[in-house]
Structure 1
C-alpha cells in the first residue's frame, strides 16, 4: 500500500504539471487532487522537489531495466530525445526549476549508461583501446547533454530527432567534414 500511495502522489504531481508550472504546484494541490492528507504526503516525501527526484529516479530505473540494443550512436541520442519528449512537461519544468542540477545529474548518468552500453555491445566493430573508448563515451555524453540542454532552453520546439538524423546524413554524404572538423594543425 505504501508504494502504491507514493506512486499516486507522483502521478498526481505529473498530472498537475499538465495544468500549471512546477513553481505554482503546492502540496495542498497534490493532496487535494489525489485524496490523501498532508501527513501522508510528508510520510513519503520531504517536499515537492523530493517528488521530482523520485520521478526522475523512476525514469532512470526504467531505462536501466530495458535492454540496450542500439546499432548506432544516433539511436542512442534518439532514445534520450524520446525520454525527454515523452515526459515533456516534467522535463521542461524540472529543467527550469531549482532541481535543474538533479535533472542534469540524472541525464548525465542516463547518457553515460546508454553510450557505454552501445560501445560494450559493439566492441567487435572497433579497434580501440579501453581508454580510447572512455574518451569517446565522454565526448558523446557531453555532446548529447549539450544538445539536450539547448533543446530544453528552446522549449523543445524543434524536432530534435529529425535534426540529428539530418546531421548524421550530412556527415555520411560528406565524410571530408570529419577530417576537416577534427583536423589538428
Structure 2
C-alpha cells in the first residue's frame, strides 16, 4: 500500500486531531454538569476551538457523534476483555499463587484510566444512562462462551445466567466506584483488588468462610425448576 503523500498525511493528522478535540470537548461539557441530552454542536465546537463545519465533516449530528465515540470505546474494551477471557484457569491460578492480578486486567484498567475523561463523563450523572448497561452486555457476550467451557453441567442454564450477571455487574460496579473515587488507585492496585474480590467467599473477612458445594446446589436448583415447570 503506498504511503500517504505529505499533504494527505497532514490532512489525516488534522482530522484525527479535530476528532480528539471534539471527544475531549464532550467530556468537558459533561464534567461541567451539562446533561448529555442538552449538548449542542455549537457548544462542542466552541470548547474544541474548532467550527461547526468541522464537526459536520466527521459526524451527521450529536447522536451519531455519541454513537461513534462510544463505539470506539466498546471496540477497545471488547478486545481487552477477550484477551482476559482467552486465559485458562491454570494461568489464573498461577497468577494468584504469585500474588499477581488476573492476566490481562492491568491492561484493561490502564486503558480505562488513559481514556478516563470521556469514559468517566459517560458513566457519570450527566452522561449516557445506557452506557453502563451496554458495557455490561458487551462483557456478558464476550465472557459467556469462554466461562461455560469445562463447567459442571448442573451449573448451566438459569443458574449460570444469574451467576454471569452477578460477576459482570460486580466488576462494573467496582470500576464505577473507582471512577467516582477519582481513580486514586493505580491500575495495578485495582487489578489486584478486583482479583481478590472475585474469590472472596462469604465470611472470609471474618475468619468464618462458608463453603458451598456448587455442583450439588446446582442440581438441587435444577430439580426445583423441573418441579415448578411440571406444576
Please, what TM-score do these two structures have when normalized by structure 1?
A: 0.66
Matched, 1:164 2:194: yes
- Contact conserved, 2:140 with 2:164, CA < 8 A, in 1? yes
- Contact conserved, 1:112 with 1:141, CA < 8 A, in 2? yes
Match of 1:11 in 2: 20
Matched, 1:134 2:165: no
Matched, 1:104 2:132: yes
Which of the residues 150, 162, 166 maps onto 1:124?
Answer: 150
Partners of 2:115 and 2:125 lie apart in 1 by 15
Give unmatched runs, 5+ long, in structure 2.
Answer: 1-7, 33-42, 93-100, 215-231
Match of 2:65 in 1: 51
The aligned length equals 170
Matched, 1:147 2:174: yes
Q: How do 1:12-31 residues align onto structure 2 when only pairs under 5 Å count?
A: 12-15=21-24, 20=28, 22-23=30-31, 26-30=44-48
Secondary structure at 2:47 match in 1: helix
Q: What is the Cα-based RMSD across aligned positions, in Å? A: 3.9
Secondary structure at 1:26 match in 2: helix
- Contact conserved, 1:31 with 1:41, CA < 8 A, in 2? no
